[in-house]
Amino acid sequence: MALPVLKHGSRGDAVKLWQSLLRSQGSYSGRVDGYFGSQTTSGTRYFQMTHIGPDGEPLEVDGIVGKNTWWAGENASGEPQRNHIKPRTPKGLPEGRKKVLEVAKEEHRKGTKEIPDGSNWGDGVTKILKGLHPAPWCCHFVWWVWKEVFGSYLWGKRHGHCMTAWRVAKSKGCAFPKKKYSPIPGDFFLMLYKNKHGNYTGSGHIGFVLSVSPDGNSFNTIEGNSGNRVKVGKRKLSQSTLVGFINPYGDADQDIKFDKVLLVADDTANSSTR
């Protein structure tokens, strides 16, 4: 039997099932009470930001549980969330950007993931969250990589909240709305969603730009806490929740020419890439 579409205001056993799925993936900490309220909506949006659907494309971040989001909830990690994209650093990048991407790619190569699944902890995730309790770790992953490369946290402080990271980046002159900027590999992409008043809210999602398509409309990523692991993916500039990009590099790392190519999935389903 097909599962029903769920959205804010929905009630019943199907909502309880969805809330249980969200809790098991670390995307929801509220009660399993069968009411689809604001907390369930927020958890759904966060889950959608970090998972792909059965077609291998990122989920639409609308807070509504339709067919594709149900599928992702039931296939939230492991093989169904792998897209078999082999990471490759574009030629022409300055050393700083290359090193950032190499460190991020190494965590992908290692298969860094949550153990147990949905715990926001375990395996290589623990070192990324060192000194902290289990928590959503996409932003922590970005700041951890930066510290591994440059020896200290970006702007002198660890950040684990995407909205805060965007605000700080704006204050530093390093935040660029997507309509006014062409991303460069090594930049951070940032996703947030708006509340009913049109204001950005929620924890959001962040990761690294790995490669950019020739037309500039799509880009590959390396992102932590995506499908509960460090994952190579692809995203489109047109995604409604993509706010923009953070470019914290020095002047020498700006006016550069690099190879533009959109990386695609390997032909073999037995690839170890994620």
> Which amino acid type is present at position 196?
K
pLDDT of residue 57: 86
pLDDT of residue 253: 64
Residues contacting 108, CB < 8 A, separation 6+:
87, 222, 230, 231, 232, 273, 274
* Domain range annotation of the chain: 13-76, 83-253
pLDDT of residue 93: 94
* Beta strand 188-194 pairing with 200-212: antiparallel
Fold observed for domain 83-253: endopeptidase fold (from Nostoc punctiforme) (3.90.1720)
Whether the CB-CB separation of 206 and 139 falls below 8 Å is answered with yes
Whether the CB-CB separation of 85 and 220 falls below 8 Å is answered with yes
Closest CA to 17 of 6, 1, 26: 6
pLDDT of residue 110: 95
pTM of the model: 0.88
Per-residue pLDDT of the chain (274 residues; tens, 9 = 90+): 589 999 999 999 999 999 999 999 888 989 999 999 999 998 998 899 889 899 888 899 899 999 999 999 999 888 888 777 899 999 999 999 999 999 999 999 999 999 998 899 998 999 999 999 999 999 999 999 999 999 999 999 999 999 999 999 999 999 999 998 999 999 999 999 877 777 887 679 999 999 999 999 999 999 999 999 999 999 999 998 999 999 999 876 677 899 999 998 864 333 333 3
Residues contacting 116, CB < 8 A, separation 6+:
122
